[in-house]
């Protein structure tokens, strides 16, 4: 049995548990809201996380190159970058996928001697984590740039306002 077949067979359970692990990284009130309705208009954060997590899982199962999954990672990291997460907290949701998969499939991985395939999947998850860290840094830099522009614009406004009042 191939690990990818085993992952496909358990995909819905893995996704459900992974999403629960992602939501658990939020405060209880926020988590309850995010995991509530999945409508993209009433709950855009929950919808974005759910849809992109599913794409990431499918891509890992399908053997897609991790760089192909960067757009989906970016959608989730973009949300987490503006929230009160440390860089490790912002990207830890990827490691939780590894934990969920292994806890679900550990007996089958051992029974069917899939350790080599499991190690390959772990390496791909590590690559995703590194990619997510890079995306997070890029997002934080973007946020900082926006903040600096806001400060500059505010200072210019104040100078103009003070200059128009005269001595």
Grade residue 66 by pLDDT with cuts at 50, 70 and 90: confident
- Residue that wins the pLDDT comparison between 76 and 161: 76
Q: What is the pLDDT at residue 166?
A: 56
Terminal C-alpha separation, the chain: 83
Q: What six digits make up the tokens of 164?
A: 């128009």
pLDDT tens digits, 79-92: 999 998 899 999 99
Domain that holds residue 24: 3-136
Q: How many CB atoms are closer than 10 A to CB 3?
A: 20
User: What is the number of domains present in the chain?
Assistant: 1
Q: What is the pLDDT at residue 136?
A: 95
The answer to the question of residue 145 being in a domain is no
Q: What is the pTM (predicted TM-score) of this model?
A: 0.86
Q: What is the pLDDT at residue 95?
A: 94
- Return the percentage of the chain with pLDDT > 90, whole number: 74
The answer to the question of residue 14 being in a domain is yes
- The mean per-residue pLDDT over the stretch 28-49 comes to 86
CA dist., res. 121 & res. 64, Å (int) = 11
Q: What six digits make up the tokens of 87?
A: 């860089």
The answer to the question of residue 41 being in a domain is yes
The answer to the question of residue 156 being in a domain is no
The answer to the question of residue 100 being in a domain is yes
CA-based nearest residue to 132, from 92, 86, 83: 92
**Averaged pLDDT score across all residues of the chain:** 91
The answer to the question of residue 167 being in a domain is no
The answer to the question of residue 153 being in a domain is no
For 79-107, letters b (16+ CB in 10 Å) and e give bbbeeebeeeebbbbbbbbbebbeebbee
């Amino acid at each position: 049995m191939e690990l990818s077949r085993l992952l496909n067979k358990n995909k819905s359970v893995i996704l459900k548990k992974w999403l629960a692990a992602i939501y658990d990284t939020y405060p209880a009130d926020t988590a309850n809201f995010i995991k509530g309705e999945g409508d993209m208009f009433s709950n855009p954060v929950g919808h974005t996380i759910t849809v992109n997590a599913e794409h990431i899982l499918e891509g890992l199962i399908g053997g897609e190159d991790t760089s192909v999954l960067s757009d989906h990672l970016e959608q989730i990291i973009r949300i987490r970058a503006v929230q009160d997460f440390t860089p490790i907290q912002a990207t830890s949701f990827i490691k939780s996928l590894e934990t969920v998969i292994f806890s679900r499939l550990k007996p089958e991985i051992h029974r069917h001697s899939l350790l080599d395939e499991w190690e390959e999947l772990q390496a791909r998850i590590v690559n995703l984590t590194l990619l997510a860290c890079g995306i997070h840094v890029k997002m934080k830099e973007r946020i900082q740039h926006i903040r600096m522009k806001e400060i500059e614009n505010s200072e210019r406004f104040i100078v103009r306002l003070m200059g128009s009042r005269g001595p």
